[in-house]
Amino acid sequence: MVLNMGPQHPSTHGVLRVLLELDGENVVTAVPDLGYLHTGIEKSCEDKTYSQAITLTDRMDYLNPLGNNLVYCLAVEKLLGLEVPKRAQYIRVMMVELQRISSHLVWLGTHALDMGAMSVMLYCFREREEILKIFERFAGQRMMTSYIRIGGLALEPPAGWRQMVKRFLDMMPARIDEYEELLTNNRIWHGRLKGVGYLSAEKLIAMSTTGPGLRAAGVAFDNRKAFPYSSYEEFEFNVPTRTESDCFARYLVRVQEMRESLKIVRQAMGKISDQGPIKSEAPGIVPPPREKMKTEMEALIYHFKIFTEGFSPPPGEVYVPVESPRGELGCFIASDGSPKPLRVHFRGPSFVNLQALPLMVKGQLIADTVASIGTIDIVLGEVDR
Amino acid sequence: MPQLANANASVVIDRLRAWKSESISQVIEHRGETTIVVPHQLLLATAKQCKEDPVLNFNQLSDATCVDRFPNEPRFELNYQLLSIPRLARIRLRTSVSGQQPVIDSLEPVWPGANWMEREIFDLFGIRFEGHSDLRRILLPDEFEGAPLRRDFPVEGKR
């Protein structure tokens, strides 16, 4: 029998359609069908200046907009050969780590909901709200932040941000314990996740899987450690791994990652000084401060030029990988020396990781397919772009 | 040959030259990233060598994508980002594909993960991959006409 799962199905986390060929209740083959959210973001980027494209990146992986901003800005900065002030780098790290926690919270909540544990979802969204409030104070936006800009950040951190972040950091460890109390030793949770969706490390690597899915198979590969960016080499944190490579191992890895992210945020808070630049000095690329623009002729000209024609990086290509909550998020930009990119390509971890789904669910039950889709942690906005 | 930013790149180049000198037609160095340009017909063999050579050990294909240099010819440039997880090293392979005959060997036999990446390129650029197990559109509907990421396809779409 062929069963059509999705595109409108709560457990597919968006609009994923999977064609399941079944033998009784066992899956013989699973064929994912994508594209329901395809909006042509890569094509749109080609018709925008480098700075204008930032807002589009927010809308790909909508649980990780800051991470998308970061990878795009890092790629453009690399094309330009632009250095970013340390203070801005640390704030970037703090923001993307908070984002990682919020993304894992949504994952944990929705996945628990798929498995039938309603209360965890309510708790997770409660804590996520706290993070979104922090983002709102920083960027003026809860989700589509566009806070990270080429050459630095959009705004100075708001007054009282330290207390806000500190309050969250003090609250969060006990809350994670609470989720673990509800789930980690829960017999139903074990029954639904243990031994489900297994795939060997070798196969995962061959299928280009990265992120928590790969780390749950014992491969400690993390771009933050392997190819540090934005001063990650100055932070101390562990890369949690498991060896079972099933859905339960992926759950444990993600929970542990939240704790590691808290550690990073705490360190970043210590590193961020109260004074200092949040943007690099790059006339013609980074818009001048408003004060200067109103008093200096050159600043006014630069301001006008940035917003009317943009800036032109030298011809060439770069590929910048960062570790998003879901795995390796890469940005490939080709410049032809004009103010608009010749090509912008995002290597979305959701898209690539989803490839391994048919291998994971082969021979398993339909209910296990739901668990496997959940622990791959896809965001359809990024899969389809 | 340009000055290389990292030692890894020179290892890759030396190993590939020793294996088959014609496999490298050009080395491009830009912003600390090394691109090895491979002749069209040697792409599959070179990719295989990059994976199977125990010193290189590029066991994962991170990304594959295409750049359209329209109206230049050969207009398409395929870029493959290779990653070696044990060695923590990256390199980029590049090859050109002509606009008249946009066909190239699939790298799926080397890295099964190339499957969807190549389907995406097929879908959006209209490049055919020889030896691909399941070459269908992936993001766009099957009845869609044209390849929207080509430079001569209007951004607003065709009406």
Q: Answer for the pair A232, A67: CB distance below 8 angstroms, yes or no.
A: no
Task: Assess whether pLDDT exceeds 80 at residue A361.
Answer: yes
Contact in structure between A350 and A377 (CB atoms under 8 Å): yes
A38: closest CA of chain B, how far (Å): 6
**Do the Cβ atoms of A347 and B33 come within 8 Å?**
no
Per-domain boundaries in chain A: 2-384
Share of chain A above pLDDT 70, in %: 99
What percent of chain A has a predicted confidence (pLDDT) above 90?
48
In whole angstroms, what is the distance from residue B47 CA to residue B56 CA? Answer: 11
- Structural domains in chain B, sorted by start: 7-99 (3.30.460.80)
- Report yes or no: B55 at the A interface, CB cutoff 8 Å: no
Average pLDDT over residues B111-129: 92
Q: Looking at B85-135, which runs of residues are DSSP E strands?
A: 89-97, 103-105, 128-130
**Best interface-test mutation with A: which of B69, B132, B139 has the largest number of A CBs within 10 A?**
B139
Given the structure tokens 């139903």, which residue do they identify? A188
Q: How confident is the model at residue A11 (pLDDT cuts 50, 70, 90)?
A: low
B128-130 and B103-105 as β-strands: parallel, antiparallel, unpaired? parallel
Residue A200 and residue A145: Cα distance in Å, rounded?
A: 37
In sequence order, what are the residues at sequence separation of 6 or more whose Cβ sits closer than 8 angstroms to the Cβ of residue A274? Answer: none
- The CA-based angle B125-B128-B132, given to 5 degrees, is 125
Q: Dihedral sign, CA of B155, B157, B158, B159?
A: negative
Has residue A264 got a pLDDT over 90? yes
For residue B157, with 0-12 CB atoms within 10 Å meaning exposed, 13-18 middle and 19 or more buried, which class applies?
Answer: exposed
Note the pLDDT of residue B129. Answer: 92
| Average confidence (pLDDT) over A31-55 | 89
Chain A: nearest CA to B125, how far in angstroms?
11
Please check the confidence at residue A127 and state whether its pLDDT lies above 80. Answer: yes
A36 touches chain B (CB under 8 A): no
Helix ranges (H only) for chain B are: 7-19, 43-52, 114-125
> What was the ipTM of the complex prediction?
0.90
Q: Residue A210 — left, alpha, or beta (φ > 0 → left; ψ -120 to 50 → alpha)?
A: beta
Count contacts between A and B (CB, < 8 Å): 104
Residues A319, B67: C-beta atoms closer than 8 Å: no
Count of other CB atoms within 10 angstroms of residue B96: 20
The pLDDT, as a whole number, for residue A384 is: 86
Per the DSSP assignment, residues forming a β-bridge with A235 are none
pLDDT at B1 over 50: no
Q: What is the pLDDT of residues A372-382, one digit of tens each?
A: 888 888 888 88
Which residues, listed in sequence order, are joined to residue A31 by a DSSP beta bridge? A19
What is the predicted pLDDT for the residue at A237?
Answer: 92
pLDDT over 80 at A14, yes or no: no
**Chain segment B92-108, per-residue pLDDT in tens:** 999 999 888 899 999 99
Task: Quote the tokens at residue A240.
Answer: 């949690």
The minimal CB distance from B111 to the residues A34, A38, A208 is found for: A208
What is chain B's mean pLDDT, rounded?
A: 87
Do the Cβ atoms of A318 and B63 come within 8 Å? Answer: no
Res. B7: pLDDT tops 80? no
Paired tokens of A283:
């006339």
Look at residue A43 and give its three-state secondary structure. helix
Q: Which of residues 200-219 of A touch B (CB under 8 A)?
A: 205-210, 219
DSSP state of B154: -
pLDDT in tens, B12-43: 888 888 888 888 888 888 888 889 999 988 99
Burial of residue A145, with CB atoms counted within 10 A of its CB: 0-12 exposed, 13-18 middle, 19 or more buried:
buried
pLDDT of residue A284: 84
Find the helix or strand (DSSP H, E) in which B39 lies: none
The correct answer on CATH 3.90.1150.10 for the domain covering A2-384 is: no
